[in-house]
Chain A
């Protein structure tokens, strides 16, 4: 049975590996979540849209916000942008400077 897989090997092949990401929160997002940063586990090769889906599941209060953009490494990111664990990620609720 040279081709048999152990349980661990099987899991590695078929269960997506997750990676930790830290998300910075500002303004109303920080107030609603009650923390200025949160840690989320995302499967490898997750995109901005996947992050938002996970965050909305874990923090339903975020749904009360007009709109939320995501910044990756201090730049506004598109919803299909890939995320790396080393990225600095922040939620950007509607801005109101000036």
Chain B
């Protein structure tokens, strides 16, 4: 399951969603808002997505993960809107029969999301803001 949402991420619901009888491992990754970047203090992050395409790209990533590893269930939730320090911006959960595959599949999913999914974040500092990765 893939969700793009403005609402806070509900970890317990996500956990329920990827339980499977055949699972010997459930692995989660949470991406959270850090209070600094390159030694500058960050106040908040504004996330924006090209919704339909973002969901489509995340689906491609999930499908590829399911081809590469014996994924029983997965869940990807990405938030948009204004997030503050410590807020969860992304959750990825994968259940597999054995632990190694769940680690690898989760890592593949988050690494690829960062490369291809049309979601952008703007860092707000006390003296202005910057779109991450956008300028040389």
Q: Mark B20-51, 1 if CB is under 8 A from A, else 0.
A: 00000000000100000000000000011110
List 7 A-B pairs, Cβ < 8 Å.
A27-B131, A66-B133, A76-B116, A95-B115, A96-B134, A97-B118, A98-B89
Q: Which of A5-13, A45-53, A86-94 contacts B (4 or more CB under 8 A)?
A: A86-94
Does A98 lie within 8 Å of B134, measured CB to CB? Answer: no
Does A64 lie within 8 Å of B120, measured CB to CB? Answer: no
Contact for B134 among A74, A76, A94, CB less than 8 A: A94
Does B131 lie within 8 Å of A98, measured CB to CB? Answer: no
Does B53 lie within 8 Å of A95, measured CB to CB? Answer: no
Count of residues in A whose CB is under 8 Å from the partner chain? 20
- Using known A-B contacts A26-B50, A74-B52, determine if residue A93 contacts B131 with beta carbons closer than 8 Å: yes
Within 8 A of B (CB), among A51-98: 64-66, 71, 74-76, 90, 92-98
Could you say which interface size class chain B belongs to? 20 to 34
- Using known A-B contacts A66-B136, A74-B52, determine if residue A95 contacts B118 with beta carbons closer than 8 Å: yes
- Using known A-B contacts A74-B52, A96-B132, A97-B78, determine if residue A26 contacts B114 with beta carbons closer than 8 Å: no
Question: How far, in angstroms, from A90 to B53 measured CA to CA in the complex?
Answer: 10
Binding site for A on B (CB under 8 A): 31, 47-50, 52-54, 56, 78, 89-90, 110, 113-122, 131-136
Does A96 lie within 8 Å of B53, measured CB to CB? Answer: no
Binding site for B on A (CB under 8 A): 24, 26-28, 31, 64-66, 71, 74-76, 90, 92-98
Nearest CB in chain B: distance from A37 CB, A:
12
Does A27 lie within 8 Å of B122, measured CB to CB? Answer: yes
Does B120 lie within 8 Å of A27, measured CB to CB? Answer: yes
Does B119 lie within 8 Å of A97, measured CB to CB? Answer: yes
Question: How far, in angstroms, from A64 to B48 measured CA to CA in the complex?
Answer: 20
Contact for A26 among B56, B115, B118, B136, CB less than 8 A: B118
Question: How far, in angstroms, from A75 to B52 measured CA to CA in the complex?
Answer: 10
Does B31 lie within 8 Å of A28, measured CB to CB? Answer: no
Closest to B78 in A: A97
